[in-house]
């Protein structure tokens, strides 16, 4: 069986769309109808006329697509594709944390559960976080959750003093500054580019910091020929496709024996699981209605503001 042809056939038969994140395996990126970062994927989920959404990504992304499309079937080919960053912010703990700051509004990163979204005033992604935060008056006190590195970076960029939840992503917190600098030493002309979820010591040496989309765009515009990329390795596929002739080196993790710069959760999605989920229309994302109603409000605010700002 030619699995790619079968996937294409089933997609057509069922009016299905595959939405894929940049951290997916190359072969999955290549069969996706749309490939993007978490903001672009949420926007695409809002626009789609497909009846069936196959989400090649992780649970918070598929759940966001379902929040936006409550009447459509949203499938996550492996329900174990979670997110360590979302897990680092349990709802009960966050609720207790939030009561300590009664005059603060909550800006949450999209990498959260719906229970956290339901406790938030607005959602952001790494693509629109600066604009979302700057949309509040300077004197408005804010909590930022759950990524501490992104929150601290945003505080630095905006001159604010947001209270930051101490969460982190297991991939981005493990890049080794020492090993990155060693590669830079061997490739002096290389530019270091990093996602803002990386530790501050990595961000300090980065020539450019941005979301996955802006990192990709930077590699297209910049005239450097070598890039050391400090984010999940999946994005290198798009960088190589968009920039034939340029060299991309995945920033290494602190342990030379592990592939910790691969997101274990993202890599749970395979072509076989996508094929199976198209056949069975399972496993389907289902949401608790009460939580979903509350979680949709800050998601809508993010989408509306992003549209207004042309993001």
Nearer to ligand 13P, 7 or 126 (CB): 126
Q: Are strands 247-250 and 226-230 parallel, antiparallel or unpaired?
A: parallel
Nearer to ligand SF4, 46 or 87 (CB): 87
Nearer to ligand SF4, 164 or 169 (CB): 169
CB 61 within 8 A of CB 296: no
Among residues 64, 185, 196, 187, the alpha carbon closest in space to that of 129 is found at 196
CB 77 within 8 A of CB 285: no
By CB under 6 A, residue 111 contacts ligand 13P = yes
Given ligand SF4, ligand 13P, none, residue 175, with its beta carbon under 5 to 8 Å by kind, binds none
- 160-179: contacts with ligand 13P (CB under 6 A): 169
Burial (CB count within 10 angstroms: exposed 0-12, middle 13-18, buried 19+), residue 299: buried
Binding segment for ligand 13P among 121-129, 219-227, 286-294, 297-305 (CB under 6 A)? Answer: 121-129
Q: How many CB atoms are closer than 10 A to CB 301?
A: 17
Tokens of 114: 């719906």
By CB under 6 A, residue 37 contacts ligand 13P = yes
By CB under 6 A, name the one of 24, 43, 113, 212 that touches ligand 13P: 212
The residue nearest ligand 13P at its CB is 37
Tokens of 281: 């229309």
Q: Please tell me the distance from the alpha carbon of residue 265 to that of residue 287, in angstroms, as a whole number.
A: 20
Binding segment for ligand 13P among 9-17, 124-132, 268-276, 302-310 (CB under 6 A)? Answer: 124-132
Judged by the rule CB under 6 A, the positions of this chain that interact with ligand 13P are 37-38, 111, 125-127, 169, 197, 211-212
């Amino acid at each position: 069986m030619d699995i790619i042809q079968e996937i294409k056939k089933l997609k057509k038969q069922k009016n299905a769309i595959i939405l894929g994140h940049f951290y997916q395996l190359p072969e999955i990126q290549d069969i996706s109808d749309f490939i993007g970062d978490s903001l672009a994927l949420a926007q695409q989920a809002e626009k789609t006329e497909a009846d069936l959404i196959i989400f090649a990504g992780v649970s918070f992304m598929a759940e966001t697509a379902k929040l936006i499309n409550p009447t459509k079937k949203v499938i996550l080919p492996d329900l174990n594709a979670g997110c360590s960053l979302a897990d680092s912010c349990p709802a009960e703990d966050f609720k207790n944390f939030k009561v300590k700051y009664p005059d603060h509004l909550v800006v949450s990163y999209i990498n959260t559960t719906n229970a956290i979204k339901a406790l938030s005033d607005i959602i952001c992604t790494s693509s629109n976080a600066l604009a979302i935060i700057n949309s509040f008056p300077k004197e408005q006190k804010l909590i930022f959750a759950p990524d501490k590195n992104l929150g601290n970076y945003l505080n630095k960029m905006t001159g604010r003093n947001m209270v930051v939840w101490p969460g982190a992503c297991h991939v981005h917190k493990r890049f080794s500054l020492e090993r990155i600098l060693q590669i830079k030493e061997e490739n002096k002309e290389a530019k270091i580019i990093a996602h803002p979820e990386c530790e501050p010591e990595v961000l300090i040496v980065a020539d450019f910091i941005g979301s996955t989309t802006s990192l990709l765009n930077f590699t297209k515009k910049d005239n450097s020929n070598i890039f050391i990329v400090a984010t999940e390795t999946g994005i290198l596929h798009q960088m190589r496709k968009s920039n034939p002739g340029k060299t991309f080196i995945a920033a290494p993790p602190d342990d030379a024996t592990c592939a910790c710069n691969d997101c274990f959760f993202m890599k749970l999605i395979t072509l076989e699981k996508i094929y199976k989920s198209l056949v069975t229309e399972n496993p389907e994302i289902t949401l608790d209605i009460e939580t979903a109603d509350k979680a949709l409000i800050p998601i809508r605010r993010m989408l509306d503001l992003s549209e207004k700002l042309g993001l």
